[in-house]
Structure 1
Amino acid sequence: MIEKVLSLLERFIANERLSVQELKQLRKWMENSENMTLVNKWMESHWEKAHEIESKVVFEEILKKIDRQSFLRKNEPFLNSKWVKYFQRVAAILILPVIIVSSFYYLSTQTLKVQYSEAIVPNGQKSEIILPDSTHIWLNSGTRLRYPVAFGKGNREVFLYGEAYFEVSKNKHQPFIVNTSKLAVKVLGTKFNVKAYPDDKTIETALLEGKINLMIQSVSGKNKVLEMTPGEMINYSAKDSSIAKSGFIKDDVIGWKNNRLVFRDDTFNNLTKKIERWYNVEIIYDKTLFEDQRLTVELLEGESIERLFQIIEKAINVDYRIDKQKIYINPKMKNK
């Protein structure tokens, strides 16, 4: 099954004709967060093959292939020329793995439905996009964002799996809604950060400017609405539906947007998750040996993973070994 779907993705990128059913199957598979790792690996292998080619050049070639396929399928819903021109405008600020998947489109039935595009950022990468309404979004490592090709007359809705920082353009007639697995953020125009990785225990929302309403799903079907004010952070636990409010340090929350990796009294488990996403590595260690460890570290832009582990080694007295994309951590042996 997996080989078949990856084959469909490769055929689509290669501009081979896919049936409507095949396109729906590909979309359904890619929407499953459990397949994120496989998608990342597929894109990374293609990225390595294309690393000597400028992303803009590659993207323009993909657009040409999409145009040709569109010409052959005039009677089917497709990305319009206005959106193609929009993609050309923002192509320079998108990395190749995001560009490839953002070109994927959703074919609905003959009835008119909203068409979506999807940006996928692999571990070890970051990106930013500008939506048709001029909303600016920064995407952190290991993130997927699904958004409409064009906004209609209703709400402006996007779907987030991972972490993103939003600067939403103001429109009092069309609220902007960020949907996650367990809650939604509703705004008119503001700046905020949402961290909602599928494998995290909590969903974190931090408001920098303006006002937002946090709409939390409940078992009864009624949403609980919390109004947030600037400087406030809310951590929501999906496990027990608990809510924790606090303030926050700006650089701790959105430092990643400026390529700065920050740990502030982080548990060792949270620390390793951030490192894995940031550097696209796998960290192997015995969790039971590090349950009580916490660490505060702030890395400047461009710091290597080697430098980070030199700091960790001295801070919590561990040995580490880096073997390609795997890092092994063990407590230092005490001298007899």
Structure 2
Amino acid sequence: MDREQQLKAFYQGNLSKEEAEDFLQWYHSKEGEAYMSSKLKEQWDQQDPVMEEYSSWDREVLFKKISTKKEGSNQSSSDQSIKLKTGKHWGFSIAASLAILFTVSILGYQYMLDHQTSPIETQAMITKSNPAGQKSKIILPDGSKVYLNAESTIRYRKEFKTNRQVELEGEAFFEVFSDKEHPFSVRSKGLVTKALGTAFNIQAYKDSPLTEVALTHGKVSVEEIGGAKSGELIPGEAIISEGTDSDFRKEKIDVEKVLYWKEGILHFDEDTFEEVVRTLERWYNVKITVEGRYDKGFLCSGTFDKNEYLDNVLNILSHSSGFEYQINKRQINMKFNP
């Protein structure tokens, strides 16, 4: 946000502690003083429309906030507020500038006191979720990007810039902003992925036995939560875990295929029929019931056009898998004939 927006957000109490500290540091700098002086002069000389919003603030209320929290400022604050509202000559600008500086300084100090986080508040989490059939792009407070797949959720603390920990359920692709002083980590169904500045994909759905961390750029380390197994990845590699002591393996992967979902391309690579059904339910936000017996060892492979219609996907799968299907709004019935 620009400085005008930041000033307004500060006054309204909408800045985080870190943002407020940054604002106050700028405000007391030579650059900040010069900026406010120029804006004040515009207000007095031209009644600039942008500054009309600031001039409409009730400064009596503002100064009252100070007087109720700091002793000895009631009378002088009231006098200064009248000057700010009625003065039309640039001669008043110095007094006005000092008054605003005094106001922002004291309110800034009280703002910090009022917004100190308790141990419980420190643990407060922000949650971003997608239902089935929806994907989204999320910008984290540090500038990192998250592409969140359908039926997926991420959680992170409000103090994310200094505590870059993310919890993931489902699938997401991360483009991590580099910050060596604050490592970036993702917890996902038994695994912790750590990175500085890199890009990687994690698939960790609750209803799937597999958790996969695939690296596209940079370098990451992956380790079991509370376990002894760990490994590092280079681009084109993935660590796959099934949550068992014997299955924590590294494999080569096709990065392009791993990221097909970001482009709206549905892709199966020797997936079981159960995995195909779960993917279709997430992808199209439908409920699928399956009747009859089918070969449990049957594996499905195939790539569909971008944003392919569900009817077309089912039509192709039905021919290769041997089932009939009916679509009733969001209810799909698949039936295998004896």
TM-score by length of 2: 0.63
2:297 to 292, 295, 311: 292
Q: Is 2:324 the partner of 1:319?
A: yes
The 5-angstrom pairing of residues 41-120 of structure 1 reads 80=16, 113-120=122-129
What percentage of aligned pairs have identical amino acids?
32
1:255 to 243, 251, 260: 260
Question: Is the partner of 2:122 in helix, strand or coil?
Answer: coil
Contact 1:283–1:329 (CA under 8 A) maintained in structure 2: yes
Distance in 2 (CA, whole Å) between partners of 1:118 and 1:235 is 26
TM-align CA RMSD: 2.6
Structure 1 residue aligned with 2:185: 177
CA 1:110–1:209 in structure 2 vs 1: closer, same or farther (change >3 Å)? closer
Question: Is the partner of 1:144 in helix, strand or coil?
Answer: strand
Distance in 2 (CA, whole Å) between partners of 1:161 and 1:279 is 18
CA 1:321–1:134 in structure 2 vs 1: closer, same or farther (change >3 Å)? same
Question: Is the partner of 1:185 in helix, strand or coil?
Answer: strand
Structure 2 residue aligned with 1:103: none
Contact 1:201–1:239 (CA under 8 A) maintained in structure 2: no
Which amino acid in 1 is paired with 2:318? E
Structure 2 residue aligned with 1:229: 234
Which amino acid in 1 is paired with 2:249? A
Contact 1:252–1:264 (CA under 8 A) maintained in structure 2: no
2:196 to 188, 201, 212: 188
CA 1:145–1:303 in structure 2 vs 1: closer, same or farther (change >3 Å)? same
Structure 1 residue aligned with 2:156: 147
1:131 to 117, 137, 140: 140
1:246 to 239, 248, 251: 251
Which amino acid in 2 is paired with 1:113? T
Distance in 2 (CA, whole Å) between partners of 1:186 and 1:230 is 15
Contact 2:144–2:174 (CA under 8 A) maintained in structure 1: yes
The 5-angstrom pairing of residues 28-47 of structure 1 reads none
Structure 2 residue aligned with 1:49: none
Distance in 2 (CA, whole Å) between partners of 1:250 and 1:239 is 25
Q: 1:241, CA displacement in angstroms?
A: 4.9
Contact 1:252–1:263 (CA under 8 A) maintained in structure 2: no
Give the 4+ runs in structure 1 shifted more than 3 A: 78-83, 108-112
CA 1:308–1:187 in structure 2 vs 1: closer, same or farther (change >3 Å)? same
For these two proteins, the number of residue pairs brought into alignment is 232
Q: 1:320, CA displacement in angstroms?
A: 0.9
2:214 to 181, 206, 209: 206
* Unaligned segments of structure 2, at least 5 residues: 1-8, 20-116
CA 1:270–1:111 in structure 2 vs 1: closer, same or farther (change >3 Å)? closer
Q: 1:151, CA displacement in angstroms?
A: 2.5
Structure 2 residue aligned with 1:269: 274
Structure 2 residue aligned with 1:25: none
Distance in 2 (CA, whole Å) between partners of 1:111 and 1:263 is 44
CA 1:297–1:287 in structure 2 vs 1: closer, same or farther (change >3 Å)? farther
Which amino acid in 2 is paired with 1:168? V
Structure 2 residue aligned with 1:157: 165
- Which has the larger helix fraction? 2
Which amino acid in 2 is paired with 1:328? N
